[in-house]
Chains A and B, each alone.
Chain A
């Protein structure tokens, strides 16, 4: 007869701990699944909300567009007075109406971006800068309507301020949301490390509990722990599969659409700002141009050569220039990034429009184009010959003729804007659909995960508890 082995005090503690661990870890796995799924849900929801703000018509887009439209409307109105000599009467629009529109958008933005300290800061900055901008425009119009040339200088001042300060802050807000969307998508597409670790720990703890109990009780079969292990395995497999499916959906679905949409926002900016540059060129009639006089040697003779640089024309060309301009570069990137074949086709057509715009840009009646026009560069005969008089000169001397040339570039930019807006809309629609699929993969995981976790912990607790009770009742010896 074997006397019952005296139970060591720490054995009770070990058994209790192992049992508690098995239960807690099973519950913990459920909680981790819950947290992981909830976290992904939250990220996807945040991404969806961010995408709404970034999409065409969203607040980020509206804020930038409203500022550009503010400038464009005011320049259009100003232009009516500058070239009033050729018109019946200038329009009676109130430039303050455009400012009020922007103020309304700023109020909307403040509500939608309340959770971002940086965005709130940027909005405050735009509001403060608007307070400087408005008097400049008011002075420009007041002077202009009194026939005073200094009004044009105030409009230039206001334009520069809006472009260099206010639009920068609006760009910053949009960049914040783009970063946020990227982070949300990256997280949602990330490997669920915590989940995997929790699953492994849960299985390991159940196995450890089984081993310890088996040693103590010499009962290898523990239905409770076995049930718990099966449920943990099912839960782990389900959650990993669902999360990986969601992750895959995000990586191959939403992220490419978001990337392409972000690229297209860049294209839209290029188009809008280049068009605004053209408009400012038209109203400025060369006042934004400076010339440098150089002495060059031509055929052994010293000749004066003039290089002219016009701010708005140069700006526009930075967007439009073939191969180096931001517009063709951004179009190429968007074409490469989009997963949508229809968008790719549309962007290929847009590249053709951009090339046409560049050609039309070189025909605009700017001093820069005048100085580099080959017709003019030949000899002093130029101002007596047909092509210069009939084709080139009218743009500089006649407001109607200039208008026709600017209508060409406006038409090009308008075509591009429509194409880009359509493509952007398709990308965001694609994003939304993919995000819904990614979220769908997680359907039920939260509830199911918690339920399975609780059941597994209950089974583990039952399995451990019964064996421990049996072991203790036997005086601490194996039955």
Chain B
């Protein structure tokens, strides 16, 4: 063995020494994930609408001829019976008699919205009488219908059972025969006549915008406005780069579509009007749009928002009925009966008869009293004209 050369056995032993590993346990430590911003809450089910197409068209004041309705006039509905049946004594074989004969004293089954404050919403106070669980303009129309069947007094008017329906099932609820009638600010359109039947127009509305009061002053440069030009073509300003909320299964989304490009905004769709209001209050959207009768109820829930702009759509509202009613003899005499109730409400004679709301000297009819109570000052032109089938 030569001097100075490390002994191989020493290296081996050294290696053995260094390979001694004492078991060192340590608890599993997961590397902390990258910090993320705290997500901000938003109503669920909100989706971006497909980009709108088309260009803004003049806002109509009447519908073109319709092939889906009983006549070419989409607003025409069945003529009321003459004379109208006496409350509490509906004709045998009629839908009204079937309604009257339901067990427990009879009741009208009505589809309503629980979200449209001042049109139709749930009463949130204790111990209201049966039949008064909902209130609003549309609900009062239903009270008048119930009163016409069961007795023209408060007791008769309360013979109603309410089924809450959503915006996109209100036509289905009627079409499927779940309810006798739907009162839910439903715009009468030619297309919808394929699914359901309509009453006459009981209130006119038009699409407008609901915005924060910060954008409501038309004298300010950031104001959101809608104006109709000389040809009644709507122009929206103040929404460039912003979002507007509406519900996808209503006529509102069709009205906003052509205005998107010219207005520079995009549309998001929520599941109900309150969700849109929440998005507006949270600043996620700058405006929401639907019929002004609905917007006024939403504005009544928040003093910081306001309805702005001209009406940029034509929205006659009708009550909705199932397409086929086996309890109805021949033509839908129930719809004619309801049209008779609406006609009565709009007539001066209703000032002295039963009215779901108090009629004041300023009201020209019960209809005027209902409008004043829930929707504000009635239009100067008065209630919509009754249009019947020939």
Instruction: Name the residue of chain A whose CB is nearest to the CB of B104.
Output: A389
Known: A286-B165, A382-B177. A17 touches B10 (CB 8 A): yes
Contact A84 B115 (CB under 8 A): no
User: Please, which residues of chain A bring their CB within 8 A of the CB of B163?
Assistant: 393, 396-397
Q: Tell me the count of chain B residues lying within 8 A, CB to CB, of chain A.
A: 81
Contact A147 B164 (CB under 8 A): no
The distance in angstroms between the C-alpha atoms of A194 and B306, with both chains bound, is 76
Cβ of A479 under 8 Å from chain B: no
| Stretch of A56-64, A175-183, A406-414 lying at the B interface | A175-183
Contact A287 B114 (CB under 8 A): yes
Contact A13 B10 (CB under 8 A): yes
Cβ of B298 under 8 Å from chain A: yes
User: Please, which residues of chain A bring their CB within 8 A of the CB of B103?
Assistant: 386, 389-390
Interface string of B160-172 (1 = CB under 8 A from A): 0111111011011
Contact A36 B326 (CB under 8 A): no
User: Please, which residues of chain A bring their CB within 8 A of the CB of B275?
Assistant: 153, 156-157
Cβ of B362 under 8 Å from chain A: no
Contact B272 A144 (CB under 8 A): no
The distance in angstroms between the C-alpha atoms of A8 and B5, with both chains bound, is 13
Cβ of A133 under 8 Å from chain B: yes
Cβ of A265 under 8 Å from chain B: no
Cβ of B133 under 8 Å from chain A: yes
Contact B1 A8 (CB under 8 A): yes
Known: A153-B277, A187-B25, A291-B172. A286 touches B45 (CB 8 A): no
A382 to chain B, nearest CB (A): 6
A123 to chain B, nearest CB (A): 12
Interface string of B12-56 (1 = CB under 8 A from A): 010011001111110111111101001111111100000000000
Known: A88-B127, A287-B272. A293 touches B171 (CB 8 A): yes
| Stretch of B117-125, B206-214, B215-223 lying at the A interface | B117-125
The distance in angstroms between the C-alpha atoms of A205 and B30, with both chains bound, is 39
B126 to chain A, nearest CB (A): 5
Known: A132-B40, A153-B277, A179-B30. A24 touches B17 (CB 8 A): yes
User: Please, which residues of chain B bring their CB within 8 A of the CB of A325?
Assistant: none
User: Please, which residues of chain A bring their CB within 8 A of the CB of B44?
Assistant: 156-157, 160, 311
Interface string of A348-367 (1 = CB under 8 A from B): 00000000000000000001
A363 to chain B, nearest CB (A): 16
Contact B168 A291 (CB under 8 A): yes
User: Please, which residues of chain A bring their CB within 8 A of the CB of B249?
Assistant: 291, 293
Q: Tell me the count of chain A residues lying within 8 A, CB to CB, of chain B.
A: 101
A278 to chain B, nearest CB (A): 17
Cβ of B76 under 8 Å from chain A: no
Cβ of A470 under 8 Å from chain B: no
Cβ of B387 under 8 Å from chain A: no
Cβ of A467 under 8 Å from chain B: no
Picked from B25, B41, B166, the residue with its CB within 8 Å of the CB of A286 is B166
- Beta-carbon contacts under 8 Å, A1-18 to B: 8-10, 13-14, 17-18
Cβ of A39 under 8 Å from chain B: yes
Cβ of A108 under 8 Å from chain B: no
Contact B124 A147 (CB under 8 A): yes
Cβ of A471 under 8 Å from chain B: no
Cβ of A398 under 8 Å from chain B: yes
The distance in angstroms between the C-alpha atoms of A4 and B324, with both chains bound, is 127
- Beta-carbon contacts under 8 Å, A133-183 to B: 133, 136, 143-145, 147-154, 156-158, 160-161, 165, 176, 179-180, 183
- Beta-carbon contacts under 8 Å, B56-98 to A: 98
The distance in angstroms between the C-alpha atoms of A274 and B25, with both chains bound, is 41
Interface string of B191-215 (1 = CB under 8 A from A): 0001100000000000000000000
Cβ of A238 under 8 Å from chain B: no
A10 to chain B, nearest CB (A): 6
Picked from B17, B28, B126, B271, the residue with its CB within 8 Å of the CB of A290 is B271
Instruction: Name the residue of chain A whose CB is nearest to the CB of B301.
Output: A148
Contact A149 B271 (CB under 8 A): no
Contact A133 B41 (CB under 8 A): yes
Cβ of A323 under 8 Å from chain B: no
User: Please, which residues of chain A bring their CB within 8 A of the CB of B40?
Assistant: 132
Cβ of B190 under 8 Å from chain A: no
* Residue in B17, B27, B162 whose Cβ sees the most chain A Cβ within 10 Å: B27
Cβ of A226 under 8 Å from chain B: no
Cβ of A383 under 8 Å from chain B: yes
Picked from A151, A180, A377, the residue with its CB within 8 Å of the CB of B27 is A180
Cβ of B7 under 8 Å from chain A: yes
* Residue in B25, B126, B179 whose Cβ sees the most chain A Cβ within 10 Å: B25
* Residue in A14, A84, A205 whose Cβ sees the most chain B Cβ within 10 Å: A84
User: Please, which residues of chain B bring their CB within 8 A of the CB of A285?
Assistant: 114, 122, 164
User: Please, which residues of chain A bring their CB within 8 A of the CB of B43?
Assistant: 153, 156-157, 160
User: Please, which residues of chain B bring their CB within 8 A of the CB of A154?
Assistant: 278
Picked from B124, B166, B179, B274, the residue with its CB within 8 Å of the CB of A383 is B179
Contact A306 B172 (CB under 8 A): yes
Contact B278 A150 (CB under 8 A): yes
Known: A143-B301, A311-B45. A149 touches B25 (CB 8 A): no
User: Please, which residues of chain A bring their CB within 8 A of the CB of B326?
Assistant: 379-381
The distance in angstroms between the C-alpha atoms of A9 and B1, with both chains bound, is 11
Cβ of B315 under 8 Å from chain A: no
Cβ of B180 under 8 Å from chain A: yes
Contact B178 A383 (CB under 8 A): yes
- Beta-carbon contacts under 8 Å, B293-312 to A: 298, 301-302
User: Please, which residues of chain B bring their CB within 8 A of the CB of A25?
Assistant: 20
B337 to chain A, nearest CB (A): 16
A39 to chain B, nearest CB (A): 4
A442 to chain B, nearest CB (A): 13
Closest 6 CB pairs of A and B: A153-B274, A380-B177, A306-B172, A397-B161, A291-B169, A161-B41
In the complex, besides A85-B133, A194-B22, A285-B122, 4 extra interface pairs with C-beta distance below 8 angstroms are A121-B33, A132-B41, A149-B121, A286-B114
**Can you list 7 A-B pairs with a CB-CB distance of less than 8 A?**
A85-B123, A85-B126, A121-B33, A292-B168, A306-B169, A379-B326, A397-B161
